Structure 1
Amino acid sequence: MRIGLLGTGPWAQMVHAPALDAHPEVEFTGVWGRRADAAKELAERHGTTAYDDVDALFADVDAVAVALPPDVQADLAARAARAGCHLLLDKPIATTVEQGRAVVDAVREAGVASVVFFTTRFLSDAEAWITEQAGVGGWFTARAQWIGAVFTSDSPFAASPWRREKGALWDVGPHALSVLLPVLGDVRHVAAVAPGPGDTVHAVLQHAGGASSTLALSLTAPPAAAGSTVELRGEHGVTVLPESSEGALPAFGRAIDALGEAARTGTAHPCDASFALRVTEILTAAETLLTVQKG
């Protein structure tokens, strides 16, 4: 599969480009970025081509991987789909329902495949655990904590404008939802408050399966307090999402595999654009409540 990369920031440099370069079934065709000099530098590092014209890249590839802010990603993803490119997107797919729906509509109309890289869903131990717990059922409640120190450390993402604007709800909230939704079912009701420091948000969700879940999300925790966990409690006892040492690179390699399979078979992946749109809808509902509270 010929794949082009859109984006040149830290995530593109750390994960997307190395994974595309190393994948045995991928021809890493080229890089486009909003800064031509950064695209040229990243392309040279991986022995591929820098494109000044994004439409020219679309014409030369079978698929695009996108490592751009969500509002930029959404418009380009819809454009790429209309050009016939399969999509390997990042979470969140968009920060408005309208933009997310435009991506889904473009994917459906063009008949292309889509996979959205919710990192945890492509870690082998985590995905096996999620599949197992979804089959067990009988869950009563769940607790998800995604506590980061992006804004209180030397993280390469600390200066990210969209993260500064949208905060933990939109950056790590998708990770929590990507684990909870396949196990507990869709969300029927959302409650959210922001009583914590910085961008810390707490949310309570009522799921279609009858269970409730609580989310604690932050990017402003002390570095020593950072970490993530998901705990389920139900008829069969208590279980916790296993920790993984795999890292994002092998996980992204599996996402590439998933896109290839979806493109070959025409079978939608569980983490496709439609699933990502549902995540955006839930986060938008929570954000609306928080905006009302701020008055």
Structure 2
Amino acid sequence: MKKPAKQLRIGLLGAGPWAERTQAPALAAHPDVDFAGVWARRPEAAAALAAAYGATAYSGEDGADALFAACDAVAFALPPDVQAPLAARAAAAGCHLLLDKPVATSVAAARETALAAELAGVASVVFCTLRFAEETAPWIAEQAAVDGWFTAHVQWLGSLFAPGADSPYAASPWRREKGGLWDVGPHVLSVLLPILGDVTAVAAARGPVDTAHLVLRHESGASSTATLGLSAPVKAAGASIELFGDRGTVAMPQWSDAVRSFGAALDALLESARTGQAHECDVRFGLRLTEILGVAEAELLMRG
């Protein structure tokens, strides 16, 4: 594992809208980070994003390895099943990992990434936004610290693929293929698991277009339901998480500013790299999210 200098040299893999709007600005703004380079599958995209921040552009298979050699850590803004094998290679090269969610959409790929990080002894953080947003992170910790939760209800409906929507993320092939289950499902589970406990049973049913309805049983004995999708009408889009228990009904606050949230994830990675202490939202947690979502996906496929 590479020893971090005073500033951690971090490279970014990916140059699409998410990288351009979130990861790159956060990396450039962080006082303890040297934004060292950008790798992308499209050389012109890597060159344009790198030039905007005075970083070095990389592309191609050899370019990824060159970026790993030049960095202490790497951040990802790639489709999950492109991310996973590159993350395993980065870990083997001694780079700490700041992963996007989900780590992968197959358990085998997520497990390989987690094993590579463990064997290399590198730090890892999975950027589940709600675990790092300044409005929601303390709320999650507060609810996780108390008992008596009976059930929870989640509704997370995006409108990326709705008629009339103009989201830049609608051009994402993996989101169109995998839908809300894999895009917003990790966010939901990243909130429910620390509060209600690990998932012990999953039931799933299809709704309109890519919408999925989940019913989960948790270690604590509580249950939760979640409606997830990316194809809702524009006026029906929105996200909410409500908990029900001894304290009554408690709703998660809304959140904003993904750049600041990613900066908090950077702080977490730096701390983990410095201390050697695993973060609660590390690659092993990311593996567990993939396992749960994989069970839900199998249920949906079985039901047709």
TM-score, normalised by the number of residues in structure 1: 0.98
Match of 2:180 among 168, 177, 188: 168
Distance 1:51 1:38 in 2: 10
Higher alpha-carbon deviation: 117-126 or 99-108: 117-126
* Cα deviations by residue, 1:12-53 (Å, 9 ceiling, x for unpaired): 111011111111111000001001111001111111110231
1:22 aligns with 2:29: yes
1:229 aligns with 2:240: yes
2:3 alignment partner in structure 1? none
Shift of 1:159: 1.4
2:57 alignment partner in structure 1? 50
1:159 alignment partner in structure 2? 171
Distance 1:192 1:160 in 2: 24
1:80 alignment partner in structure 2? 90
Aligned residue runs from structure 1 range 102-117, under 5 A:
102-117=112-127
SS at match of 2:278: coil
AA partner of residue 283 (structure 1): L
Shift of 1:125: 2.1
Match of 2:227 among 207, 216, 220: 216
Aligned residue runs from structure 1 range 128-147, under 5 A:
128-147=138-157
Distance 2:64 2:231 in 1: 35
1:40 alignment partner in structure 2? 47
Distance 1:177 1:150 in 2: 21
Match of 1:69 among 79, 87, 91: 79
AA partner of residue 186 (structure 1): D
Shift of 1:64: 0.2
RMSD: 0.7
Mapped contact 1:73–1:93 kept (Cα < 8 A): yes
1:259 alignment partner in structure 2? 269
Identity within the alignment, %:
62
1:5 alignment partner in structure 2? 12
Q: Which 4+ stretches in 1 moved above 6 angstroms?
A: none
Distance 1:137 1:176 in 2: 19
Shift of 1:101: 0.2
AA partner of residue 99 (structure 2): L
Match of 1:205 among 216, 223, 238: 216
* Cα deviations by residue, 1:35-94 (Å, 9 ceiling, x for unpaired): 111100111111111023111110010000010000000000000000000000000000
The number of residue pairs the alignment matches comes to 292
AA partner of residue 32 (structure 2): E
Could you tell me which runs of 5 or more consecutive residues in structure 1 were left unpaired when the two chains were aligned.
none
Distance 1:254 1:127 in 2: 10
SS at match of 1:157: helix
1:192 alignment partner in structure 2? 204
Distance 2:39 2:66 in 1: 10
Distance 1:260 1:179 in 2: 22
AA partner of residue 48 (structure 2): E
